[in-house]
Amino acid sequence: MTNRRDFLKGFLAGGTALATATAAEPVCARESHERPPEALGLLYDATLCVGCKACVAACKQANDLPPEFNTVDHLWDTPLDTTAYTFNIIKMYRNGTMEAKDQEENGYSFMKVSCMHCADPSCVSACPVQAMTKNPETGVVGYDADRCIGCRYCVAACPFGIPKFQYDSPTGKIGKCELCRHRTKDGHYSACAEVCPTGATLYGKTSDLLVEAKRRLALKAGTPYKVPRGKLGGPDQSYEGVAGNYLQHVYGETEYGGTQVLKLSGVNFQKVGMPDLPPHAAAALSETIQHTLYGNLVLPFAVLGAMTWAAKRNVAPGDDETKESDHG
């Protein structure tokens, strides 16, 4: 009888440990990972975007992706959202008479949708087989189909809805922007930034892009300034432009622990389709809980020890046997 009581105590203690381990987490989850110092990314400035979609076409070409049709005549590529075959699109916000750009009421705006290359990506944390990885130097979130098992946990995990799966193929893959990492060896960079005629999409080191973004936010609307195009710190392709009427918010600076793609807009970010995210990554909480419970397998082995001790006492030899058991 004492054994059982001792065991019950042990079991309750274990349960309490599990409860406290999990309950205490929100306050002591690990810090979100930071961007690597040389992290690469994009700066998208909605006030510079004219909605020409040259970036959408260039992305398709650079990644060898098929067109997607959403009109009856099937004449040209008309994706409505990012898919496993469309890694980048320009979405439009419209309100009322749409008389002015970058204005919430009676205005319109554009928004680029593609992978944000998070500092602490949920897709990388979720992927069971390391098919989704974050490059330690560039911070680019890449995908390796040869490793992928097609479980789609990354699709479910991403708060931006970026990794997408080819459900229509018997050998489907995940499709997402990899910042044209396959083109850097030829001296190229992200195709969307390369072709952007207005510099709305700018490629570069995220730390530089953040400085550039803050520089623009500090300008009064209408102030002339030099607008860089293509690659920040690359060959000078700049032109004289005027500062937009910005919201004082660099989207991606802190969202979900920070992203390597940053965005500026004149219209509320939620209105143009970007999610309202907390400043810490979900992966931080999920990984902390998992590693608290399973770190070095201490807790599992402790429980196993207790279970073995109890089972050894309670499983009588021949207990389960049909012949001899039930005379004892």
Q: Per CB under 8 A, which of residues 303..322 are in contact with another protein?
A: 303-304, 307-308, 310-322
120 vs 212, beta carbon nearer another protein: 120
How many Cα atoms occupy the beta-carbon half-sphere of 294 within 13 Å? 6
**Shortest spacing between CB 1 and another protein, in angstroms:** 9
User: 64-92: b or e for each residue (b if 16 or more CB lie within 10 Å)?
Assistant: ebeebeeeeeeeebebeebbbbbbbbbee
Q: Which of 128, 197, 224, 233 binds another protein (CB under 8 A)?
A: 128
Query: With binding defined as CB under 8 A, does residue 125 bind another protein?
Result: yes
Sketch the per residue contact string, 104 through 123, with another protein: x for CB under 8 A, - otherwise: ------------------x-
Sketch the per residue contact string, 15 through 44, with another protein: x for CB under 8 A, - otherwise: x--xx--xx-xx------------------
Q: Between the CA atoms of 102, 108, 114 and 119, what dihedral angle is there, to the nearest 10 degrees? A: 40
The letter for the amino acid at 106 is N
Query: With binding defined as CB under 8 A, does residue 3 bind another protein?
Result: yes
83 vs 184, beta carbon nearer another protein: 83
DSSP 143: E
Task: Tell me which residues in 183-242 interact with another protein (CB under 8 A).
Answer: none
**Shortest spacing between CB 88 and another protein, in angstroms:** 15
Cα 47 from Cα 50, distance rounded (Å): 8
126 vs 213, beta carbon nearer another protein: 126
**Shortest spacing between CB 108 and another protein, in angstroms:** 20
DSSP assignments along 267-303, one per residue? S-TTTTT-----SS-HHHHHHHHHHHHHGGGHHHHHH
Cα 37 from Cα 35, distance rounded (Å): 6
Judged by CB under 8 A, which stretch of 153-161, 210-218, 245-253, 258-266 contacts another protein?
153-161
54 vs 261, beta carbon nearer another protein: 261
Q: Which of 13, 50, 156, 218 binds another protein (CB under 8 A)?
A: 156
Name, in order, each residue with C-beta under 8 angstroms of 176's C-beta and a sequence gap of 6 or more.
82, 87, 115, 141, 143, 162, 163, 164
Cα 325 from Cα 230, distance rounded (Å): 81
Size of the site for another protein (CB under 8 A): 84
**Shortest spacing between CB 60 and another protein, in angstroms:** 18
6 vs 99, beta carbon nearer another protein: 6
Decide: 260 and 114 in contact? Cβ < 8 Å.
Answer: no
How many Cα atoms occupy the beta-carbon half-sphere of 50 within 13 Å? 7
The letter for the amino acid at 186 is D
Task: Tell me which residues in 246-285 interact with another protein (CB under 8 A).
Answer: 256, 273, 275, 277-278, 281-283, 285
**Shortest spacing between CB 16 and another protein, in angstroms:** 10
